[in-house]
């Protein structure tokens, strides 16, 4: 696939500030005349939102980890087909809240599934479309889960140890792919976090134009 746009993913534990920063980034890029396609996982399409409600429903306590991994991958496959691939093709900046690194962290490293298999499953589901930049908002889950308002969904309701493993998994993934990842200390004040986000995005977009 010829890539004309840019693809940016935000990752991090629940409550790490992804939504807040994405909202700001979308507004900032839009004001500068960029075509922007914001989206989120699980969900982002009509089919994906239905899958999302199954995944996060607290009543589905008996869902197996394999079923969970397949449903996340199914939602993602639809999102890539319907939204992400066409938007990159159009030349948009695609900003996705979570991508398959979430599956590697939550279902493989913390959930006990084979990481290599989960990676291959997701490469297949996404037609090998991977982001140019992954911004990892790193926060101690004890703190980030504490920021959450309202009740926890099925995944958030897992033990603190589970969420700590998710965090460690993210840090491991970032260390393995330093060119793709930027880690930001998510416990910093929001304006500091945002200034790092904006700098990394500008580096990417200016670099991308330079290759033009
Ligand atoms: P998210 O939309 O970030 O939650 P919220 O809107 O409540 O902030 O993600 C929902 C949950 O799904 C979250 O706990 C992380 C989990 N998740 C996985 O376990 N694997 C995945 O592949 C993805 C995309 C999310």
| Residue of minimum CA distance from atom 4 in ligand 1 | 14
> Could you tell me which of 3, 10, 15, 14 has the C-alpha nearest to residue 25?
10
Q: Is 23 helix (H, G, I), strand (E, B) or coil?
A: helix
> Which domains are seen in the chain, by residue range?
6-211 (3.40.50.300)
For residue 43, report the distance from its CA to the centre of ligand 1, in Å: 10
CA dihedral of residues 17, 29, 177, 103 (deg, nearest 10): 50
pLDDT at 43 over 90: yes
Query: Which atom of ligand 1 is closest in space to residue 100's alpha carbon?
Result: 22
pLDDT, tens only, 112-158: 999 999 999 999 999 999 999 999 999 999 999 988 888 899 999 99
Q: Is 192 helix (H, G, I), strand (E, B) or coil?
A: helix
Q: Are 136 and 98 in contact (CB under 8 A)?
A: no
pLDDT on residue 2? 54
Indicate whether residue 165 lines ligand 1 (CB < 6 A): no
Residue length, the chain?
212
As a whole number, the mean pLDDT across the chain is: 95
Query: Which atom of ligand 1 is closest in space to residue 42's alpha carbon?
Result: 24
């Amino acid at each position: 696939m010829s890539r004309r746009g840019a693809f940016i993913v935000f990752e991090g534990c629940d409550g790490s500030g992804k939504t807040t920063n994405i909202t700001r980034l979308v507004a900032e890029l839009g004001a500068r005349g960029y075509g922007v396609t914001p989206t989120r996982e699980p969900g982002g399409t009509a089919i994906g939102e239905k899958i999302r409600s199954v995944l996060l429903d607290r009543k589905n306590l008996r869902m197996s980890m394999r079923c969970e991994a397949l449903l996340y991958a199914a939602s993602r496959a639809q999102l890539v087909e319907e939204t992400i691939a066409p938007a990159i093709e159009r030349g948009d900046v695609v900003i996705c809240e979570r991508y398959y690194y979430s599956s590697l962290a939550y279902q493989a490293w913390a959930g006990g599934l084979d990481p290599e298999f989960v990676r291959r499953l997701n490469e297949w589901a996404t037609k090998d479309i991977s982001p140019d930049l992954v911004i990892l908002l790193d926060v101690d889950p004890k703190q980030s889960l504490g920021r959450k308002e309202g009740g926890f969904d099925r995944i958030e309701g897992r033990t603190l140890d589970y969420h700590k493993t998710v965090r460690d998994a993210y840090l491991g993934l970032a260390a393995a792919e330093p060119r793709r990842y930027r880690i930001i200390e998510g416990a910093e004040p929001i304006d500091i976090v945002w200034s790092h986000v904006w700098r990394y995005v500008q580096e990417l977009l200016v670099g991308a134009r330079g290759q033009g």
